[in-house]
Amino acid sequence: MALSGEFDNLIYNTDSYKHCHYPLYPPGTEYISSYIESRGGEYPVTMFVGLQAFLREYLMRPITLEDIDYAEHAIREQGMHFNRENWLGILNDHGGYLPVEIEAVAEGTVLPARNVLVQLTNTDPKYYWATSFFETALLRAVWYPTTVGTISWLAKQIIRTALDRTSDHPELLRHMLHDYGARGVSSQQSAALGGLAHLVNFSQSDTTPGIIGAKKYYNAVAPSNSGPNSEHASFTAWGRDHEVDALRNMLNVHRDKGVVLLLTDTYDHENCVKNIIGGDLREEIRNFPGMVAARPDSGDPVQVTADTTQWLMDAFGFETNSKGFKVLPPCIRVVQGDGITFESLRSILTEMERRGFSAENVLFGMGGGLLQHCDRDTMNFGQKANAVRINGEWRDIAKTPTGAGFKVSKAGRLALVKVDGEYQTVRRDSVSPEENLLKPVFRNGHLLKKWDFTELIANSEAEVPESYYNEVIAPMLTTSEQTEEERALTGVSA
């Protein structure tokens, strides 16, 4: 379902009850400041991304009289109060643009959770209520791509660790995790936001909305690569007795593309790998002008990936790299795109290392585990008011619930600084504007800073303390140390 028209109406792109909030503030209220943060959760860090897409898609589009008329009818139809004068004022006083200023950390930045990412305030005291009014849309626009971007970034650290330990080719990193998630998400809009967030970390995707989003909102140039893949429909059409013909046909049809991914589980995966790819088609694959990949799509992803690697080494041979790990010849690889989650990715690479296989033998595809297996509570995102100005005086405000400590919010207007290499959220009045890493990116309908996709990538790849991802890679290191001890005792090298 394409979303347009009424769905793009900023007045209606909110929770209905937001329309009854404006008269609930104290008399004399002039300005409201609020902020967005990850309040902790499953991951220790956040990779911030996605705000600019929202600003360009929604806040740089003025509301119209027709938007006001539609929203008034719809909100009153629900039995909710609607203040038409508020919106006519924004239309007449500000040309239909929401009178707010938004400041944010640079997109692509990786920093510990529980730090301010976005802060906003109204710019016209007449519209003090505007800051919190579009919380629903703004928070949604931030939490989802940032959570996906964080999952992708942490997956990158897992793969980086495996390459560092077992491969001579760290330059492969950005090519090793492919986004297959488009069919597994709830909407095309989710695919766009999550897909572009992943492309900050990796240059591989079949999620076309994400590619479009990276280009449209961040001026990305060629953000993604892909290649001929296969599906079961075209292979089963040949019939079980002609599976080898189906695979050979794909090798011939896409020979000039330099890469072909062959599904191996259409019937019997082990037979396909050992007897068709490693037997009937072995010489054709050896002479293929590029890379052929065996793609298991069923079974336990940890064992089937390692087993497939072993079977291919039995058929095609291997070399041993400088770190003592086995590497398939360049003509053949494994692509594992089934059942990949944050946890299974780590387990697969750990098992590969345990068996003495370099991580470069396998490429990964990630679908629902990348784009769909998360929600706002995964990283406990929230937007909360932190200061109010009443009759010319700024006051700190915060919520301090007794039932959930992580929901205690930050009081006072905030700044983000870096001290001795560590990010810290501090009071705004305690540092100079030059020290504050929150920079204005939007004001009254105008984009003040336009992030390019290359800047997002550079920010995401900036050096960070190991503490940002130690917790994530620790199980790999523990298992690897045990494996090395076992090899030392048995006298067996990698």
Binding residues: 183, 206, 232, 295-297, 337-338, 368, 376
The helix/strand/coil state of 245 is helix
Residue list for the binding site for diphosphate:
183, 232, 295
Instruction: List 260's β-bridge partners, or say none.
Output: 292
Q: What is the maximum alpha-carbon separation in the chain?
A: 83
Radius of gyration of the chain (CA): 26
Residue list for the binding site for beta-nicotinamide D-ribonucleotide:
206, 295-297, 337-338, 368, 376
The helix/strand/coil state of 81 is coil
Which residue in this structure is represented by tokens 């059942």? 339
Measured CA to CA, the distance from residue 369 to residue 148 in angstroms comes to 9
Residues 429 and 409 sit within 8 Å (Cβ to Cβ): no
State both tokens at 8. 């793009």
User: Within 13 Å, how many C-alpha atoms sit on residue 351's CB side?
Assistant: 18
Reading phi first (left if > 0) and then psi (alpha if -120 to 50, else beta), residue 152 is in alpha
Measured CA to CA, the distance from residue 388 to residue 131 in angstroms comes to 11
- 61: CB partners within 8 A, 6+ apart: 8, 10
Let me know the angle formed at the C-alpha of 454 by 452 and 456, rounded to the nearest 5 degrees: 75
Measured CA to CA, the distance from residue 218 to residue 211 in angstroms comes to 10
- 273: CB partners within 8 A, 6+ apart: 264, 294, 296, 308, 311, 312
Measured CA to CA, the distance from residue 410 to residue 396 in angstroms comes to 9
Measured CA to CA, the distance from residue 264 to residue 261 in angstroms comes to 9
Question: Which one-letter amino acid corresponds to residue 305?
Answer: T
Direct distance between the N- and C-terminal alpha carbons of the chain, in angstroms, rounded to an integer: 52
- Angle formed by the axes of helices 135-166 and 188-199, to 10°? 40
